[in-house]
Amino acid sequence: MDDKVLITVGRQIGSGGLQVARLVATEFGVEVYDKNLLMLTAKESGLAPEIFSERDEKRSALGRFARFIGIRGSVYADTGAYSDTGNLSGDDLFALQSNVIKTIAEKGSGVFVGRAADYVLRDNPRLMSVFITADTEDRIAMVMEREHLSEAEAARFIADADRKRASYYNYYTFKTWGDGASYDICLNTSRFGLETTAELIARMYRQCRF
């Protein structure tokens, strides 16, 4: 199985990480797994896809508030008992999704975007993990165009999305999202452009010592 290709791509919003991932996948002729992972997980578990997409990489403010004031333990506070709730929580969905990612990685190749896949696959010997960044101005420009936002709105959108991704990643991995030490490579698309970034990643993967 030496020709197996497993790359995970973490990315700041507006950095072009998804496009880079697609280019890399085309280069190797393998599948890109991003949002479609949710559909796969849903199919695997028998759950409705939308409950995944709602939680996807978001740990919403409401959810955090709920977590803070009551979802975890028993609502019946007068018990003094330690409840072991079986709620269908974000934790369960993350576990389901992780299993899907692992299964795919065991069977074949793929480029995985987000979903803390680098952590999920950390023990896979064929894995190379990448984190894609871009300069703030470029990210703002990209988000403005894609989401049809003003500059100020885009800046807020980015800050918000970064915070959510970091919170999701840090919660499940005990690592720090975007921290260079967490990844094999960090690349800035503002320096290299999308195509070159993808080429670099592909070349590095071929020379990677596993």
Nearer CB in complex with another protein: 70/193: 70
57: exposed, middle or buried (Cβ count in 10 Å: 0-12, 13-18, 19+): middle
Q: Are 200 and 192 in contact (CB under 8 A)?
A: yes
Q: Which residues bind another protein (CB under 8 A)?
A: 45-48, 50-51, 53-55, 58-60, 62-64, 66-92, 94-96, 98, 119-120, 123, 171-172, 174
Nearer CB in complex with another protein: 19/170: 170
Sheet arrangement for strand 127-133: 32-33, 110-113, 6-11, 127-133, 185-188
Q: How far apart are the first and last CA of the chain?
A: 13
Q: Rounded to an integer, what distance in angstroms lies between the CA atom of residue 33 and that of residue 101?
A: 9
Nearer CB in complex with another protein: 69/181: 69
Smallest gap from Cβ 201 to another protein, in A, equals 25
Smallest gap from Cβ 21 to another protein, in A, equals 22
Nearer CB in complex with another protein: 11/59: 59
